[in-house]
Amino acid sequence: MTHRQLAAALFAFSLHAGTAQALPIGFSTTGSPVHTYFQSTPGVSATVQFAGVSGALDLTPDVGRQALFFTFFAGTGPADPGMTGVEYQPYSVGLTVLGVTKYFEFDLGVQEIANDQYQIHAFDMPSLTFDLGATGTLTVTPNAFYTQAVQLPANTPAYHLRDLYATFLLTGRTVTPVPEPDSLALAMLAVGALCVSRWRRSGLPTVTDGAEG
């Protein structure tokens, strides 16, 4: 076995032994009730709702993965040319991982704007972190691209406006994958062959050389 072959065998072993194993992580989200805006203003209204979903991910440690975690519904009522103010309402929507529930808490504003349109303002959903013990730490970060402002014409029935995605990142896993017996044997063989090769190059007699003398 040449030095190049030995190096290749050791490299393959190191890759195999150090490969992080994907872990199945299930989650579910609990959405909001229907929030109705401008209830105190006759003839003006808008509705917003976040609907929950559930999913299962195979997460490789230190590799983020995007997944759908809410669906976003919105609709509008008639417009009022004299309406210019923005109204904010608080939201608290839950995420459950391995029986632990935490909440995304944020405010969302809606405003009637020119040309008989409503604007649903951008909203800032915070990241949530879950301590999963020996499995590691799971951080869920909402994707800001899906929480930007959007405009709707007046008299738009409530509909599925947008899917919301977040990045799920598992870090700090303490369990080290154990190499398979075949890979371990390959590494031991490569190391042994390398030792013999170095012994012979040093000029010292091997056990076989001594026996022939």
Q: pTM of the prediction?
A: 0.72
Q: Return the pLDDT at 140.
A: 98
pLDDT band at 201 (very low <50, low <70, confident <90, very high): low
Q: What is the pLDDT of residues 119-145, one digit of tens each?
A: 999 999 999 999 999 999 999 999 999
Q: What distance lies between CA 134 and its chain's CA centroid?
A: 18
Answer whether 121's CB lies under 8 Å from 86's CB.
Answer: yes
Contacts of 182 (CB under 8 A, 6+ apart): none
User: 12 pLDDT band (50/70/90 cuts)?
Assistant: very low
pLDDT value at 3 more than 80: no
Residues of the chain above pLDDT 90, percent: 61
- pLDDT tens for residues 75-126? 999 888 777 689 999 999 999 999 999 999 999 999 998 888 999 999 999 9
Cα–Cα distance, 208 to 212 (Å, whole number): 7
Res 90: pLDDT? 98
Asked if residues 141 and 130 have their Cβ atoms less than 8 Å apart, the reply is no
Q: What is the pLDDT of residue 79?
A: 83
Please state the φ and ψ torsions of residue 42, each to the nearest 5 degrees. -60, 135
Q: What is the average pLDDT value for the chain, to the nearest integer?
A: 82
